[in-house]
Amino acid sequence: EANPLLVKYIDELSLAKGSRVFLPLCGKTLDIGWLLSRGYRVAGAELSAIAIEQLFAELGVRPTITRVGTVDHYRAPQLDIFVGDIFKVTPALLGPVDAVYDRAALVALPQEMRARYSAHLMALTAHAPQLLISFEYDQRAMEGPPFSVSEEEIRQHYGHRYDITVLTSLDVPGGLKGRCPATERVYALRKGEC
C-alpha cells in the first residue's frame, strides 16, 4: 500500500491533476504507482538499478532506457526515473517538477551529507514545494538509516527558502524497527518570501 501519510497529506501541496512530483532516492516504493493512479506524473532518482527494474516490473511497464553522462534515464508514460548518483542529476536532465515528495531521502543520508543534499534538491527542483517525512529519535539508541533529523535541522537546511509547517507528529508504533521510541513528522515546505 502507499504510505498513509502521503495519501492523507498530498493535498497540502495544492497540486493540479497532471502535476509532476519528484521522489528523491525513491527505490521501488509503492507510492509511485499510487501517484500515477491518481493522475500525477512522477519523476524519481535512485542509485539501485535493481530496485528500478523491479519497480517497472511491478508496474507492468517496459521502460525505454537511455544513458545521459553517468546516469541512466528509465522512461515510460508519465514516469521518469534517473538511476545513478542523485548529485549527477541536473535541472536540465530532470526537467520541471511541481512538487517534491521526500519520504526516504533526507533521513537516509548521514548528517555530513544532508546540507549538500538539501541544497542540491532545492537547485534541482527550482525550490518546488515539498512534502517531507522525517524521524526523530535518540540517535545513540540505534544507528541509521533512517537517521534522526530534527525539526531544527530541517529549518536550518530549508528555512531560508521555505515556510515550513508541521502537518502531523506521530509516535512510531512499536518504535523504529522495533528497537527504539521514535516520532515521525510530516512537513509541508512552501516557497517563502525570499
Phi, psi dihedrals of residue 21, rounded to the nearest 5°: -110, 130
Model pTM score: 0.97
Q: 33 near 11, Cβ under 8 Å?
A: no
**Among 18, 34, 124, 137, which residue's Cα sits nearest to residue 78?**
18
Cis peptide before 145 (omega within 30 of 0): yes
Per-residue pLDDT of the chain (194 residues; tens, 9 = 90+): 899 999 999 999 999 999 999 999 999 999 999 999 999 999 999 999 999 999 999 999 999 999 999 999 999 999 999 999 999 999 999 999 999 999 999 999 999 999 999 999 999 999 999 999 999 999 999 999 999 999 999 999 999 999 999 999 999 999 999 999 999 999 999 997 64
- Show Cβ contacts of residue 121 under 8 Å, excluding neighbours closer than 6 positions: 24, 100, 102, 105
CA distances to 71, 72, 103, 157, 160 from 82, rounded to whole Å, are 6, 6, 17, 24, 28
CA distances to 17, 50, 76 from 31, rounded to whole Å, are 16, 18, 16
Q: How is the chain split among helix, strand and coil, in percent rounded to 5?
A: 30, 30, 40
Q: 101 near 165, Cβ under 8 Å?
A: no
Phi, psi dihedrals of residue 163, rounded to the nearest 5°: -85, 130
CA distance 114 to 64: 32
